Amino acid sequence: MVDQLSPLEPVLRTGRHGHLADGVGVRLAETQPGSIVQLAAWPGEEKALIRTIKQVTGLALPDGAGGGACGNGKAAFGFAPGRFMVIGEDENIAGVFAGKLSQKTGTVTDLSHGRTGIRVSGARAEWVLAKLFAIDFALPAFPVGSGLSTVHHDIFAQIQRSGADQFDVYVFRSFARAFWHTLRLASEEVGYEVR
């Protein structure tokens, strides 16, 4: 299989940047998972879809939009009523779900090429993301594993908290470079490291 070309790779400047007097406030990295898949349930079939997600990924999701889980290189979260994102290192998650998910339950849409995952981590991650999104990123309000859909002006974004100070942001591939630029600027103040 041919490797995917990252939209960010040509503009990634690895290393430390910005105001570093107090150390590195955030680390920025492209996650480059093998698969990014959207699953959508028909009304009333949400629980069946959550069961299928657990069957395929081992991740037990709470019911309802916003709930999620992550671990072992896999992540899943509900980003809208009846709609879920599943992310993993395996390149054929969409194919596996297509085989497992009954058409009576919902649909599978492969977005592995269409979305770019960016990880923002570090002590100032909440601060940097709060500059861009009108979201309460505090841990009690947005616990580890949970996810949501939001927007930064024209850029639609889905965000999952993958750690106490770690967030994975998924944006449309075509906007990835513009968003990266915005994210870098927002991170300069606290010092950032690109990995």
Partner 1 sequence: MSPRRTASGGMVDRSRSIRFSFDDRFYVGHPGDTLASALLAQGVTLFGRSFKYHRPRGVIAAGVDEPNALVTVLRGDAREPNIPATMLEIHDGLTVVSQNRFPSLAFDIGAVNQLGGRLLGAGFYYKTFMGPVLGPLKGTRFWMFCEHFIRRAAGLGRAGAVADPARYERMNAFCEALVVGSGPAGLMAAKQAAAGGARVILAELDPRLGGTANWSSETIDGMPAADWAAAVLAELAAMPNVRLLPRTTVWGYYDDNTLAALERVTDHKRTGCKGEPRQRHWTIRAGRVVLATGAFERPLVFPGNDRPGLMLASAAERYAVQFGVLPGRKIAVFANNDGAYRSALALREAGASIVTIIDVRSDISPAARDLAARAKAEILAGQAVVATEGGKQVSGIKVQPFDAATGRLSGDVRAIEVDCLAVSGGWSPVINLASHAGAKAVWDDKMQAFMLPPATERWTGAGACAGEFSTGEALAGGAAAGSWAAGGASASDPVPEAGGTVLDIAPAPVFEIPAAGKAFVDLQHDVTADDVRLAHQEGFVSVEHLKRYTTLGMATDQGKTSNIPGLAIMANALGKQIPEVGTTRFRPPFAPVSVGSLAAERYGEVRPERLTPMHDWHLENGATMYSAGLWHRPMIYAKPGETVDQAYVREARTTREKAGIVDVSTLGKIAVQGPDAADFLDRVYTNMFSTLPIGKARYGLMLREDGFAMDDGTTWRLADNDFLMTTTTANAGKVMQHLEYLLDVIWPDLKVHVTSVTDQWAGAAIGGPRAREILAACVTGTSVDNDTLPFMGIVHGEIAGAPVVICRLSFSGEMAFEVYSGAGHGTHVWQALIKAGKPFGLVPYGLEALGTMRIEKGHVTGAEIDGRTTARDLHLDWMLSKKKPFVGSMMMDREAMISPDRLQLVGIVALDNLPLAGGAHIVERLDRDTPRDSIGHITAACYSPVFRKHIGLALVRAGKSRHGERAFISDPLRGHFGPVEIVSHHFYDPEGKRLHG
By CB under 8 A, name the binding residues for partner 1: 1-7, 10, 18-19, 21, 38, 40, 42, 103, 106-107, 109-115, 130-136, 138, 141, 153-155, 172-175, 177-179, 182, 185-191
Taking the complex as a whole, how short is the minimal distance between the CB of residue 138 and partner 1, in angstroms? 7
Choose between 19 and 51: whose C-beta lies nearer to partner 1.
19
At closest approach, how far in Å is the CB of 56 from partner 1? 18
The DSSP result for 44-101, as a single string, is T-HHHHHHHHHHHH---PPSSTT-EEEETTEEEEEEETTEEEEEES-TTHHHHHHHHS
The nearer residue to partner 1, 71 or 89, going by C-beta atoms, is 89
Nearer to partner 1, 32 or 166 (CB): 32
Which one, 119 or 124, has the nearer CB to partner 1? 124
CB of 71 to partner 1, least distance (A): 25
Q: Give the Cα separation of 81 and 83 in Å (integer).
A: 6
* Longest Cα separation, the chain: 57
Q: Which is nearer to partner 1, 13 or 153 (CB)?
A: 153
* Min CB(41)–partner 1 separation in Å: 9
Answer for the pair 175, 154: CB distance below 8 angstroms, yes or no: yes
Handedness of CA 94, 66, 68, 112 (dihedral sign): positive
As measured in angstroms, the least distance from the Cβ of 192 to partner 1 is 9
Strand partners of residue 107? 40
Cα distances from 137 to residues 27, 86, 134, in angstroms, run 17, 21, 9
